[in-house]
Chains A and B, each alone.
Chain A
Amino acid sequence: METILSLKNLDKRFGTIHAVNNLSFDIQKGNVYGILGPNGSGKSTTLGIILNVVNKSSGNFSWFNGKLSTHEALKKVGAIIERPNFYPYMTAVQNLELVCKIKGIKSSKIEEKLKTVNLFKRRDSKFRTYSLGMKQRLAIASALLNDPEILILDEPTNGLDPQGIHEIRQIIKDIAANGTTILLASHLLDEVEKVCTHVVVIREGVKLYSGSVDEMTASHGLFELKVESNQDKLISLLSKFEGILSTKIENETVIATLNKPVSAVEINNYLFKNGVVLSHLVKRKPSLEQQFLTLTNKIS
């Protein structure tokens, strides 16, 4: 598989703050990656470093196996970070023409890309007259102009209304379906879960997990249990059962996490024999959100 981007022991300090701590991971062609992390975990800083706008303190990164210098490589990349930044006095078309000049490509694709993000009707309006959602869509059009090898998106739905969020996600899904490699930084887990195949979880600049989404959510699952009365007895029985790692109470529901495969029949049978009758029993796979919280809470 072709490696598009490779990070090795990347480190960044802002004074006393250690924003990125010894971070290493690779981006392979054709996958959709999510960088997950709470606000201020170093996601944007990491992207800033690989995009040539933040200086690294130490470590290395290379684009396309080091075949190209960073700024040459960026001409083959489409990236949107934080807020869309364009010249407010230029129209959408004029702004995109400038991007074409910088990337050294023909401006023939402008019309097509504006249609992709549904901005073609407003192509001759000045950028400053755009709503946030339109600005964000223009940013996506701009990132797609060169049919990039990889699309980098940093919090692409931040600050948008539900309609806007939906539109942007649809665009991202369409792009991913075309086989474009995507690197998506977000703190919105359902967003990552919906579009990504791989995740990198970071917290306070440290990598906690990197691998496929399926592996991350693949555990033996958990049970949600409820009883009318005698909850304490239920918990003590559960903690004696082999295969149950831990139990906790959430909104009057007992959550039992498993460390080996246990079927609902087995557990129901065991509890009934010991005199506990359940009013509610569900076996579930943990969501990415729960896995993420488990991961990020482990250290703290």
Chain B
Amino acid sequence: MLRLLNIEIHKLKYNRASKILILIYFLLLTSIALIAAIKFDVGPVKFHLAEQGIFNFPYIWHFNTFIASIFKFFLLLVIVSMMANEYSNKTLKQNLIDGLSKKEFILSKFYTVIAFALVSTIFVFLVSIILGYSYSDFTEFSIVTTDLEYLFAFFIKLTAFFSFGLFMGILVKRSAFAVGGILIWFFGESMLKGYLFWQFKDLENTSERVNSIMQFLPLESISNLIKEPFTRLSAVKTVAKQVGENLSKDFSVQPLDLLIVMGWTALFIYFSYALLKKRDL
């Protein structure tokens, strides 16, 4: 396993474009901390975002993993290009001739995906711990360790998303088209969602029925893993209550969602391998 990971790191570390994207990604992850600096102090209106409870344990786990997952597209570019470039440079062929098996090739990419997801998760954990201890109102150990499943969900989410990128890279063989392909897939899922809403528009529980189907699609299930954290914030809740809206949404990580996403990850990796095995290079 280490040998395969080592091979992949060797390929990445000399690639300037990948290095820059990875750097930007981690800078953006760190920039979550900059939210703390958002502060309005105009006469009577005093507003300091960090004081609004977004960095309170355990809410911070939810908030930070959600924000951090927005930046995953930078790493997606790295993943897609590291796969597709093997085709366009024909180095995949050379790797196989040099004695890498097709299985090892896919595994080396998958290990890299896991490594990226793991490092991101650890990074977000560290940033959150630091921010939390600086701004949280509660720092009791039992509260700090509550809701850590968001970190696990974040890890699974990234692994699945990057595996999808890996699969598209193999399927399409060209970086730009593979990224385009992912966008098209996304539009496809959105259109299906729209169609389902239209189909079920006369039923009373429309959105529940739509979700019961949509939750099985890859991108939708990936984005379902960590639900948007904003309406959970107590500040927002207070406002909503005054308006009279009911916010009894379940924000926790659902085991079924985790299962679906892990299922897709397995399928993407398996299909990548099957495609590579079947193809003549």
Binding site for B on A (CB under 8 A): 14, 48, 51-55, 69-75, 77, 79, 81, 83, 85-90, 94, 97-99, 101-104, 142
> 9 tightest A-B contacts by CB?
A75-B99, A71-B101, A74-B99, A85-B90, A85-B94, A53-B281, A102-B98, A54-B280, A90-B14
Task: Specify which chain A residues have a CB less than 8 angstroms from the CB of B94 in the assembled complex.
Answer: 85-86
Q: Does any Cβ of A come within 8 Å of B96's Cβ?
A: yes
- Asked if B280 and A71 sit within 8 Å, CB to CB, the answer is no
Closest to A81 in B: B97
Q: Does B278 contact A (CB under 8 A)?
A: yes
User: Complex Cα distance A85/B96, Å?
Assistant: 12
Contact (Cβ within 8 A) A85 B7: no
Asked whether, in the complex, the Cβ of A55 is within 8 Å of the Cβ of B90, the reply is: no
Q: Are B99 and A53 in contact (CB under 8 A)?
A: no
Is the CB–CB distance between B281 and A71 below 8 Å?
Answer: no
* Chain B: minimal CB distance from A90 (Å): 5
Q: Could you tell me if B98 and A85 are in contact, using CB atoms closer than 8 angstroms?
A: no
Say yes or no for B145: interface residue by CB 8 A criterion. no
* Cβ-based interface call for B176 (8 A): no
Min CB distance, A113 to chain B, in Å? Answer: 14
* Chain A nearest CB, measured from B108 CB (Å): 10
Q: Is B126 an interface residue (CB 8 A)?
A: no
Report 11 cross-chain contacts, Cβ distance below 8 Å, ordered by A residue: A53-B281, A71-B101, A75-B99, A85-B90, A85-B91, A87-B91, A90-B14, A94-B14, A98-B7, A101-B6, A103-B98
Chain A residue, CB-CB nearest to B108: A102
Chain B 91-111 against A: per-residue CB contact (8 Å), 1 yes, 0 no? Answer: 101111111111010000000
Known A53-B93, A74-B98, A101-B3; 4 more pairs at CB < 8 Å: A73-B99, A86-B94, A97-B10, A98-B11
> B248 interface residue, CB < 8 Å from A?
no
Per-residue interface assignment for chain B, residues 19 to 47, with 1 indicating a CB less than 8 Å from any chain A CB and 0 otherwise: 00000000000000000000000000000
Docked Cα-Cα span, A69 to B101, in Å, equals: 10
B97 and A74 form a contact (CB under 8 A) = yes
Contacts of B280 in A (CB 8 A): 14, 48, 53-55
Contact B11 A51 (CB under 8 A): no
B residues 93-142 in Cβ contact with A at 8 Å: 93-102, 104
B15 part of interface (Cβ distance < 8 Å) = yes
A235 nearest CB across to chain B (Å): 51
Query: Most A CB atoms within 10 A — which of B16, B95, B97?
Result: B97
Given that A48-B281, A85-B94, A90-B14 are contacting pairs, would A101 and B7 also be in contact in the complex, using a CB cutoff of 8 Å?
yes
Cβ-closest chain B residue relative to A56: B280
Complex partner residue of B15 from A52, A73, A89, A97, CB under 8 angstroms: A89
Question: Is B205 part of the contact surface with A, judged by Cβ < 8 Å?
Answer: no
**Residues A87 and B89 in contact, CB atoms below 8 Å apart:** yes
A214 to B102, CA, bound (A): 40
| Minimum C-beta distance from A52 to chain B (A) | 5
Residues 255-281 of B, flagged 1 when their CB comes within 8 A of A and 0 if not, give 000000000000000000000011111
Once the chains bind, are A102 and B99 in contact (CB under 8 Å)? yes
Q: Is the Cβ of A102 less than 8 Å from the Cβ of B15?
A: no
Whole-angstrom distance between the alpha carbons of A98 and B92 in the complex?
13
Option from B3, B11, B97, B102 in Cβ contact (under 8 Å) with A87: B11
Docked Cα-Cα span, A90 to B13, in Å, equals: 10
A87-B11, A101-B3, A101-B7 known; A51-B97 Cβ under 8 A: yes
Q: Known A48-B281, A53-B280; judge A88-B89 contact (CB<8 A).
A: yes
B277 (CB) vs chain A CBs: closest residue: A55
In the complex, which residues of chain B have a beta carbon less than 8 angstroms from the beta carbon of A89? Answer: 14-16
| Residue ID in chain B nearest A80 by CB atoms | B97
B79-95 interface mask toward A, CB cutoff 8 Å, 1 = contact, 0 = none? 00000000001110111
- Distance from A279 Cβ to chain B, minimum over Cβ atoms (Å): 56
Closest residue of chain A to B101 (Cβ to Cβ) is A71
- What residues of A have a CB within 8 angstroms of the CB of B97 in the complex? 51-53, 74, 79, 81
- Whole-angstrom distance from the CB of A85 to the nearest CB of chain B? 4
Given contacts A55-B278, A94-B14, whether A103 and B93 have CB atoms under 8 Å apart is: no
